[in-house]
Amino acid sequence: MNSLIARLIAQRLALGISLLFAVSMLIFAGTQILPGDVAQSILGQGATPEALANIRRELGLDQPAWQRYLSWLGGILQGDLGTALSNNRDIAESLGRRVNNTLFLAFWTAVVAVPLAILLGLVAVRYQNRWPDRLISGSTLTAISLPEFFIGYLLIYFFAVQLNWFPSVASVHDRMNLGERLHAIALPAATLTLVILAHMMRMTRAAILNVMQSAYIETAELKGLRSLLIIWRHAFPNAVSPVVNVVMINLAFLVVGVVVVEVIFVYPGMGQYLIDHVSKRDIPVVQAVCLIFAAVYIGLNMIADLVSILSNPRLRHPK
């Protein structure tokens, strides 16, 4: 690894950490300006001023905002996400299983969506401006134009209500085997796949078409190589960098953007956990979940940047 690559990697890592620190301040500030009173929501409308003052003191709400932020950030750095106000449970312990459920849903969605998007992108390039290309582009563009909740409810209506192939409520628990879990998450995974498939396919198509304009592709064509072989062996490997970028961005969306889908299918993941506690105005839970979402999103985008740097031949072999 040359010094230029090492410097670029160090810059990306420093930028990611700085961005996460800035996001943590925004999350904390955003939760502090929410309307309503946390102490009042806990004790109810009939609470006396003395009781409200006592619980504010107990929760540290009587301290300055900057002091509460530093205390919260210090706990995060030590692995302490705090305690939920609504049930007095440790947030990290409550989130453990839900994080696994969200990652499970995102993983199996990616297992289906990523290879399918790349395959459709290759087929679209192979039959550029012909009916397979137009059919794939039109279908995926239609899918990306529809909101997640609309796609989710359509799938529920046809595959859960009419055909009764899959459950409308994606309930999972520890006693389920892998096959039962996959059957339970089939509809939410299909919803997420349709949402992210179009973007990945179109970026794959655009990246490969850009490489197809290169001189070495023309040389391969003059040698009489088959077009599919040229695309797979010569064009696609040189289009990996932008493809990896868009895949990582969509994987970040999978983890962060599951909130709507989890609510539709009542899936016991982080998104459902967040919505449940937003309604209770449980600020520590909202802060913790939002910070985890932000860390995942920034982390995956950082990985995409690093892969782009390491796969760039101009950086690996400078003149």
Q: What is the pLDDT of residues 6-42, one digit of tens each?
A: 777 788 888 888 898 898 888 888 777 766 666 666 6
Q: What percent of the chain stands above pLDDT 90? A: 1
Tokens 């995060």 sit on residue: 76
Rounded (to 5) percent helix, strand, coil in the chain: 75, 0, 25
Tokens 């709507």 sit on residue: 260
Mean pLDDT score, 303-318: 66
Q: Buried b / exposed e across 237-265, counting CB within 10 Å, b at 16+?
A: ebbebbbbbbbbbbbbbbbbbbbbbbbbb
The per-residue pLDDT for 35 is 62
Q: What is the pLDDT of residues 134-173, one digit of tens each?
A: 888 888 778 777 788 888 888 999 998 888 899 888 888 8
Mean pLDDT score, 98-104: 86
Which token pair is 251? 């994987």
The per-residue pLDDT for 311 is 66
Q: What percent of the chain stands above pLDDT 70? A: 79
DSSP labels, 222-283: HTT--HHHIIIIIIHHHTHHHHHHHHHHHHHHHHHTTHHHHHHTT--SHHHHHHHHHHTT-H
Q: Which CATH number fits domain 91-316: 1.10.3720.10, 3.20.190.10, 3.30.1490.100, 1.10.287.610?
A: 1.10.3720.10
Q: What interhelical angle do 283-310 and 91-126 show, nearest 10? A: 40
The per-residue pLDDT for 45 is 64
| Sign of the four-CA dihedral 279, 285, 286, 292 | negative
Count the Cβ atoms, other than its own, within 10 Å of residue 224: 6
Residue 95, SS3? Answer: helix
Task: Name the pTM for this structure.
Answer: 0.78
Provide the pLDDT confidence category of residue 174 given band limits of 50, 70 and 90: confident
The per-residue pLDDT for 173 is 80
Q: What is the pLDDT of residues 208-233, one digit of tens each?
A: 777 766 666 666 666 666 666 666 66
Task: List the beta bridge partners of residue 90.
Answer: 83
Residue 80 has pLDDT above 70, yes or no: yes
Mean pLDDT score, 74-81: 81
226: phi then psi, degrees, rounded to nearest 5: -65, 145
The per-residue pLDDT for 146 is 79
Among 36-50, 55-69, 98-112, 221-235, name the most confident range: 98-112
Mean pLDDT score, 81-93: 78
The answer to whether 95 touches 270, Cβ cutoff 8 Å, is: yes
The per-residue pLDDT for 293 is 86
| Sign of the four-CA dihedral 43, 48, 49, 50 | negative
